[in-house]
Amino acid sequence: MNSFSHKGNRKLSIAELERKSIEEFKDAEKLPLILVLDNVRSLHNVGSVFRNADAFAVQKIYLCGISATPPHREINKTALGATESVDWEYVKDTKSVVEKLKKEDYGVYALEQTHASILLSDFETEANKVALIFGHEVKGVQQEVIDLCDGAIEIPQLGTKHSFNVSVSAGIAMWELYKKMKL
């Protein structure tokens, strides 16, 4: 530790970050990961999930049920343009999306605390492609949607509150899958 050189720790400028343009992003290889928002109510959360999906080069976001869709000023306050880079589609019925993805050989998992949920740290799948479902801020993923999934994944929580913010749990779950699937 601390072999680290302070001299080298100058912050990178925006140009030095060398991020992709929207066109480059569209053409770039994606993580074999799809996100499904099952009635995510908050525009802030929808926008923040787009921003996470851009960072981890996710294939696509399905916006379902009451989840709002771009273009929307409030979504863009947190998406900051990621609604332009990340592919997305609105499908009213979440169950039909799960059924479609399963037919396409995605391993489909709800982020949810159930009687049989697997801890994110222990999560393994034989599927080459994964879809993660995130639910309503209060009600979570619909039980009938969970029942169609290959399983439920739970982020361990040691505190007093019942759950994470949706965009935070989405970020944590994407990070874990990104490490496993690394491009």
CA-to-CA separations, 69 to 15, 24, 48, 58, in angstroms, rounded:
30, 23, 13, 17
Selected binder of a second copy within 73, 103, 105, 159 (CB under 8 A):
159
Given the rule CB under 8 A, which of 33-41, 60-68, 92-100, 142-150 is the region that contacts a second copy?
A: 142-150
Backbone conformation region of residue 73, classed left if phi is above 0, alpha if psi is from -120 to 50, else beta: alpha
Residue 178 tokens read as 């990104």
Give the separation between CA 82 and CA 84, rounded to whole angstroms: 5
Selected binder of a second copy within 46, 56, 88, 106 (CB under 8 A):
56
Selected binder of a second copy within 2, 71, 73, 105 (CB under 8 A):
2
176 near a second copy (CB under 8 A): yes
Query: By CB under 8 A, what part of segment 12-31 binds a second copy?
Result: 12, 14, 17, 19-22, 24-25, 28, 31
Residue 24 tokens read as 């480059």
Q: Which residue has the tokens 């908050």?
A: 42
55 near a second copy (CB under 8 A): yes
Given the rule CB under 8 A, which of 33-41, 59-67, 93-101, 124-132 is the region that contacts a second copy?
A: 124-132
Residues 6+ apart with CB under 8 A from 86: 50, 53, 54, 58, 60, 61
70 near a second copy (CB under 8 A): no
Residues 6+ apart with CB under 8 A from 145: 38, 94, 95, 98, 110, 133, 135
Given the rule CB under 8 A, which of 2-10, 32-40, 63-71, 92-100 is the region that contacts a second copy?
A: 2-10
Selected binder of a second copy within 85, 132, 133, 177 (CB under 8 A):
85
138 near a second copy (CB under 8 A): no
